[in-house]
Amino acid sequence: MEKSNDGLRVVLFPLPIQGCINPMIQLAKILRSRGFSITVIHTRFNAPKASSHPLFTFLEIPDGLSETEKRTDDKTFLFTLLNQRCEAPFHDCLAKLLVSSDSETQRISCLIHDSGWTFTPSVTKSLKLPRLVLSTYTVSFFLNHFALPKLRHEASQDSEQDDLVQEFPPLRENDLVRLLKEKREYLEPYLNMMLEATKSSSGIIFMSCEELNQDSLPKAREDFKVPIYAIEPSFSNFPASSSSLFTQDETCIPWLDKQEDKSVIYVSFGSLATMTGPELIEIACGLRNSGQQFLLVVRVGLVKGTEWNEVIPEELKATLNEKGKIVKWAPQQEVLKHRAIGGFLTHNGWNSVVESVCEGVPMVCLPFIWDQFLNARLVSGVWRVGLHLEHRIERNEIESSIRSLFFGNEGEAIRERMRLLQEKVGRSVKENGSASRALESLIDHISSF
């Protein structure tokens, strides 16, 4: 297999946010291990660190974003701007790459781009290059989220109902209101372009597996009518730490080494979520009151308008330091693998959810934005391998959830279900497992262009 791919080059184009860069670079590592040469085209904004990947070729294109635009909270607006301003630079970069490629030794097989890039169909059609889409969402969210503009028009903005959203299970009405609360005037045209770009592609790659998407994969194949490859958790042998946009605090690993097995709650809310100072204090107090050892990630920018964690009073910090450790960023996959980790208080980004399942770590769910609301419902209501805080950032709720997860019958049942799900998903990457078969089919597909 590797020999047959010698001389084939794959061009990858990640969307410039952490949760999209990590899976794309991990996919690049997988393809490189199977004999493909790799070129990554990326924006100047949030550029991946090329020196961490000496076996890849990196090509930077201008994105035209101002400093103010880079800091916007409306990610749909940001992605719309990126698509408008990157089309011409990307076309020129890819065209030059195709011209300079030696047909004997470096034939470019295809482009693989994040689903958030919507201008790519016209570019690749003009250059006669096959194109595949990488989705960093779970299949069910990607399949149904194109209906969100319609659902927004129908939803009551005051709804706190726990009723199921029939068109978008297992979302609840109160999840939908939170998901759509931001002003999203760009959402409908952006999603329409994304849908068309996906349907006209040569295939979709999902960083997921059949075991986590048994109901939605058949429907996705029917709706999109292109080959679909659910290859995760094949990434587990290719850590994401080397593609982190943040400097990781490696001191948390020796600190974990000193803790007892399954005694630590790991707390991290990803690269995009923001909260208020009082909310961070509630979380900190909940951790302290639980009596459980904890590793808390407070990302720079997590609390807007602050340098770091100065909103936490010094007296509270002193008591926190007795039971836990606070860092700016952590090597998450390494942390979740550690024997000392017994639970994960998480924002439920899809990468974090899959990493947690792969390591058998039960979760406390506190989603903030976008697909995180659906992921949290999968974790807590469908797979039942975690507890849901139901959007309440209150110290008593956090304390109670942590205690329930670590002690008592409910926590024991959750840990057992997580153990079984971990085994089920783990089998998918073994020979003849669903993710393993999907990866082999993807390799064959890319090699056939």
Is residue 317 a part of any domain in this protein? yes
**Overall number of domains in the chain:** 2
Contact 75, 91 (CB under 8 A): no
What pLDDT is recorded for position 203?
97
Same-domain check for residues 176 and 310: no
Name the nearest CA neighbour of 380 among 351, 356, 407.
Answer: 356
Q: What are the per-10-residue average pLDDT scores of the chain (449 residues)?
A: 66 95 93 94 94 93 94 90 97 93 75 97 96 95 91 67 86 89 81 96 93 90 95 69 78 96 96 92 95 95 88 91 93 95 96 94 96 96 96 95 94 96 92 92 95
Same-domain check for residues 355 and 312: yes
Is residue 239 a part of any domain in this protein? no
Same-domain check for residues 379 and 419: yes
Same-domain check for residues 64 and 129: yes
Contact 140, 215 (CB under 8 A): yes
Whether omega for the bond prior to residue 170 falls within 30 degrees of 0, making it cis, is: yes
Same-domain check for residues 279 and 185: no
Task: Find the domain containing 314 and state its range.
Answer: 246-427
Helix (H) or strand (E) holding 443: helix 434-448
Same-domain check for residues 437 and 412: no
Same-domain check for residues 307 and 200: no
Is residue 240 a part of any domain in this protein? no
User: CA distances (Å), 95 to each of 76, 87, 90, 126, in order?
Assistant: 28, 12, 8, 10
CA dihedral 174, 179, 185, 191 (to 10 degrees): -120
Residue keyed to tokens 């946009």: 245
Same-domain check for residues 422 and 432: no
Is residue 238 a part of any domain in this protein? no
In angstroms, the CA 387 to CA 354 distance is: 16
Is residue 36 a part of any domain in this protein? yes
Q: At CA 354, angle to CA 350 and CA 355, rounded to 5?
A: 115
Is residue 274 a part of any domain in this protein? yes
What pLDDT is recorded for position 3?
42
- What sections of 110-210 are H helices per DSSP? 120-127, 139-144, 148-154, 173-179, 187-199
Same-domain check for residues 360 and 227: no
| The pair of three-digit structure tokens given for residue 66, joined into one six-digit string | 């101002």
Is residue 85 a part of any domain in this protein? yes
Same-domain check for residues 63 and 101: yes
What pLDDT is recorded for position 252?
94
Contact 22, 351 (CB under 8 A): yes
Is residue 401 a part of any domain in this protein? yes
pTM of the complete model beyond 0.85: yes
Same-domain check for residues 370 and 293: yes
What pLDDT is recorded for position 2?
41
Same-domain check for residues 55 and 101: yes
**DSSP characters over 318-375:** HHHHHHEEEES---HHHHHHSTTEEEEEE---HHHHHHHHHHT--EEE---STTHHHH
- Residue 70 sits in a domain whose CATH number is 3.40.50.2000
